[in-house]
A and B are shown apart, each in its own frame.
Chain A
Amino acid sequence: DVKVTQSSRYLVKRTGEKVFLECVQDMDHENMFWYRQDPGLGLRLIYFSYDVKMKEKGDIPEGYSVSREKKERFSLILESASTNQTSMYLCASSPGTSGNLYFGPGTRLTVT
């Protein structure tokens, strides 16, 4: 089975802190994604990566950056956390140029 793991299930950070969310997949998938889920807004794509060191902005990239130094790992960085970044963050991976996304369990981030 594909496994996507995220470094934390729950995280509480203060406004202005730099926050790192880590995601690792074990199925050698080319593509990796970061989404955030908010009530009434569904899943919104922040960034995705289709290869090592390659990244593209999703629909809501402002305030975020990403890093993909190894194929299995995709990190989401909040340079200076703000309260409007309180959300559930979901990492996903998928093979090739199309295919199903496999999601991790999510990280619920609270910024106070």
Chain B
Amino acid sequence: DQQVKQNSPSLSVQEGRISILNCDYTNSMFDYFLWYKKYPAEGPTFLISISSIKDKNEDGRFTVFLNKSAKHLSLHIVPSQPGDSAVYFCAAPGSLTGTYKYIFGTGTRLKVLA
């Protein structure tokens, strides 16, 4: 079964600097990997995705990198802003037969200091 690990439970970054959030998965899948952002008392919201056939996807201040040989994802936020303070979850496809099942990591709480 797919396992997704986010080994840093928390991260503090100064405003304007780069935030790097990491994620490791166990099973290679031909589909999209996802990043979600969650504020307290709200549901997670989709942030950015990357296809398994790509190495990088960029959307404004957010860039996701995929290293397939290492089975590793990273999310870069630059420059970091106080409004980016939230919990970030990565998600990997959980099934070979159906790509609608996603497995989430445990999350990384990002705090951006003003």
A12 CB–B CB distance under 8 Å: no
Among candidates A31, A45, A58, A103, residue contacting B43 with C-beta atoms closer than 8 Å: A103
A101 CB–B CB distance under 8 Å: yes
- Tally of contacts, chain A with chain B, CB under 8 A: 69
With A41-B106, A98-B31 as known contacts, state yes or no: A105 contacts B100, CB within 8 Å.
no
Please report the C-alpha to C-alpha distance between residue A69 and residue B101 in the assembled complex, in whole angstroms.
20
Q: Are A35 and B104 neighbours in the complex by a CB distance under 8 Å?
A: yes
Interface centre among A50, A101, A102 (most CB of B within 10 A): A101
Residues of B within 8 A of A104 (CB): 43
Please report the C-alpha to C-alpha distance between residue A48 and residue B94 in the assembled complex, in whole angstroms.
12
Please report the C-alpha to C-alpha distance between residue A59 and residue B102 in the assembled complex, in whole angstroms.
11
Residues of A within 8 A of B45 (CB): 103
A66 CB–B CB distance under 8 Å: no
Q: Are B100 and A31 neighbours in the complex by a CB distance under 8 Å?
A: yes
B106 smallest CB distance to A (angstroms): 4
Please report the C-alpha to C-alpha distance between residue A50 and residue B41 in the assembled complex, in whole angstroms.
27
Q: Are B49 and A100 neighbours in the complex by a CB distance under 8 Å?
A: yes
Residues of A within 8 A of B100 (CB): 30-31, 48, 50, 94, 96-99
With A35-B104, A40-B106, A100-B34 as known contacts, state yes or no: A106 contacts B99, CB within 8 Å.
no
B8 smallest CB distance to A (angstroms): 13
Interface centre among A35, A42, A92 (most CB of B within 10 A): A42
Which A residues are within 8 Å of any B CB, using their own CB?
4, 9, 30-31, 35, 40-45, 48, 50, 56, 58-59, 90, 92, 94, 96-106
A43-B89, A106-B41 known; 10 other A-B pairs, CB under 8 Å? A41-B106, A42-B4, A45-B102, A97-B100, A98-B31, A103-B44, A103-B45, A104-B43, A105-B41, A105-B43
